[in-house]
Structure 1
Amino acid sequence: MRSAEEILDVVDEHDRVVGRAARGDAYARGLRHRCAFVLVRDAAGQIFVHRRTATKLVFPSMYDMFVGGVVGAGESYDEAALREAEEELGVRGLPRPVPLFKFLYEDEDKDKGDGGAPRPSWWSYVYEVRCELPVAPQAEEVAWHGFVTEAELEARLREWDWVPDGLAAYERLRAHRSD
């Protein structure tokens, strides 16, 4: 099945399922759905960072400090987090990602002169996992990857073009850790 044809649960502002839609339709119509974000650390504690491929449906060719993606219809956040992390990293036998917090992502900066197109919105569950396996990321998903220290990641935040939802999740993760 092509990515745009994948069926997702459509949810309300309280994350309750109110329907289903194909992924491409959910994006085009701005239907709220669910996503899992997984921060991956290697054995040394470095963070997996990657650049998305130019063919991605959302945020092509941008950098991300999370792996993950949409939660399929009927799938739990926990199931999606593990599935997406293993798929994107190209590993099997990854430990279950640890759930940290959930937030509603709404793109506040959606000003592309598009005549009032729906603003993207999705419930986002943030996880963390340690991956001590050798990674072989999916070529269809990941154009470049590497493990970087937290200091290197912080320096790159000002230099690279980051996916806005991942950046929002990372900012919340920093705030979550300082609580």
Structure 2
Amino acid sequence: MEYLATFDQLNQPLFQNLSRREVHKIGYWHRTVQIYVLHPEKGYLCHRRSSSKDLFPSLWDISIGGHLGPEETYLDCAVRELSEELGIAVQPEKLEFVKVVTIDGKDEKAGLLDREHAGIFLYHTSLNAEDFTVQQEEVEEVEYLSMPKLRADLQSTSPSRNYIPLQEHFLHILSLLEEHQNRAG
């Protein structure tokens, strides 16, 4: 059973570890990572979540991510998730930390609350989508989408695929990533 550390709305620890299921059922704040994988010509790597996921099964996500273990750092979790979900070994210094954002989401279908303090990372790669060895329990399909296509999809009332219903969050993160890249220059 997977346990998560709980936090308050300001990301301060509550010093209580609960099962992942309980955290999502009751709506405790917890920490996650979102890694945005960017190919210089092809855009952002998106994936369709496994149909067996408890939150947002079979929906498309625009980042790779996961929950931090009780003693894990944001960076450690990001490296682990890229290894588990995409089968790639990434050196921690290759991940660009952007910021921590707060997400207050709900999976209406499953009736679960997803309140996260998400560490946002950017990872640049030249790997093709077929070069990844995806973890079938987590990811069913991967595809790169260009920034214009991704933005258009997230703003559309009839997108090309069914995304996790956090379009405003995703658009906000894409803007943060653009700002981060412009500063990094």
- TM-score class, shorter: 0.7 to 0.9
1:121 aligns with 2:115: yes
Give the length in aligned residue pairs.
Answer: 170
Contact kept? 1:43, 1:130, Cα under 8 Å: yes
Aligned to 1:97: 95
Contact kept? 1:105, 1:123, Cα under 8 Å: yes
**Closer, same or farther in 2 for the Cα pair 1:143/1:85, shift >3 Å?**
same
Give distance in 1, aligned partners of 2:42 and 2:108.
38
Aligned-pair identity in percent equals 24
Give the letter for the 1:128 counterpart: L
> What is the Cα deviation at residue 113 of structure 1?
9.6
1:13 aligns with 2:9: yes
Deviations along 1:129-154, whole A, 9 cap, x unmatched? 01334311111111111112112222
SS at match of 2:133: coil
SS at match of 2:23: helix
Give distance in 1, aligned partners of 2:169 and 2:28.
20
Contact kept? 1:7, 1:22, Cα under 8 Å: yes
Which consecutive residues of structure 1, in runs of 5 or more, have no partner in the other structure?
none
Give the letter for the 2:88 counterpart: V
> What is the Cα deviation at residue 111 of structure 1?
8.9
State the TM-score, normalized to the length of structure 2: 0.81
Relative to total residues, which structure has the larger strand share, 1 or 2?
Answer: 2
Give distance in 2, aligned partners of 1:141 and 1:119.
19
State the TM-score, normalized to the length of structure 1: 0.83
- When the two chains are superposed, the root-mean-square deviation of aligned CA atoms in Å is 2.4
> What is the Cα deviation at residue 76 of structure 1?
0.5
> What is the Cα deviation at residue 82 of structure 1?
1.3
Moved over 4 A (4+): 110-114
Contact kept? 1:94, 1:131, Cα under 8 Å: no
**Closer, same or farther in 2 for the Cα pair 1:171/1:58, shift >3 Å?**
same
Give distance in 1, aligned partners of 2:109 and 2:50.
25
> What is the Cα deviation at residue 15 of structure 1?
1.0
SS at match of 1:146: strand
